[in-house]
Structure 1
Amino acid sequence: MAGNVTADLIRALIDTLEGPSIDGGWESLAMILEFPDGEFNGAHGYLYSPDGVITAVASDPWAVRPAVKAYTDSYYQPGEVLPRKVLVQFDRTNRKYDITFEETDEARWKVTPRNVMELREELRPAFD
């Protein structure tokens, strides 16, 4: 079951991407799902193109909410505290993905003017 909810989550994030100059040429993505106060409220991150272009994007939280809920429901029991953030990384050329949960650190993966360049590289999917 987890494989299906994972594929549905990644598909929902991709299908609802919004941002400047999004085209079909990207090869990987990194999206941060945010759960302030224990409830999902946003998905944002980066698309990485083979030519080196990195595009900041977001997914419509209302549109992806059902897929996010199905995914978290497959890992957490009712009443359990949800993670602070979830990092979804996907490489569509080789179909590999990784999902990382951050249970406690609210500041992890927080984009600021000082760290934006470094963070987008840190989040870039790198599957060996």
Structure 2
Amino acid sequence: MPNDATVDLIRSLVEAMDDRPLAADAQGSVGGWESLAMILEFGEGFRSVHGYAYSPGDVITPVSCKWSSIESAVGAYLDGYYRPGERLPVKILVQFDRTAGKYEVTFEDADEDRWAVKPKNFREMREHLRPKFG
């Protein structure tokens, strides 16, 4: 059973993603997606969040959101794992399947290249990141 901070984190990502016109359809919403994978990055002096929304018919849409839209939910979530002043992970992968109601949150503490999406690997990475819950 997810705790409230996890539910709030996932909800903030979904709401912020749905508000981004970059990956929106004509109605201004990503809409129709069944699952998502979002990478939260904690770099030196920057924060970013990006990933993919997976819809029926193998439609995969790149998505992102403003960090400021999710910052309080991320902070509350991390407070459950880290004490003030402790080093944060370099990345967190949040995978959520809303049709199955399942999720997974994976921390990466050191490897800054893990889950790195680049022009040469974006097709493979979007499949690698796709939520697959057994």
Q: % of aligned pairs identical?
A: 54
- Give the root-mean-square deviation of aligned CA atoms: 1.3
Structure 2: distance between partners of 1:122 and 1:23:
21
Structure 2: distance between partners of 1:11 and 1:26:
14
One-letter code aligned to 2:129: L
In the TM superposition, structure 1's runs of 4+ consecutive aligned residues that sit over 3 Å from their partners are: none
Q: Does 2:95 correspond to 1:89?
A: yes
Q: Does 2:68 correspond to 1:53?
A: no
* TM-score normalised by length of structure 1: 0.93
Q: CA deviation at 1:23?
A: 3.4
Structure 2: distance between partners of 1:43 and 1:93:
22
Q: CA deviation at 1:40?
A: 6.2
Q: Which runs of 5+ in 2 are unaligned?
A: none
Comparing 20-29 with 6-15, greater Cα deviation is found at: 20-29
Q: Which runs of 5+ in 1 are unaligned?
A: none
Q: CA deviation at 1:24?
A: 2.2
* TM-score normalised by length of structure 2: 0.89
Structure 1: distance between partners of 2:46 and 2:31:
27
Q: CA deviation at 1:112?
A: 0.6
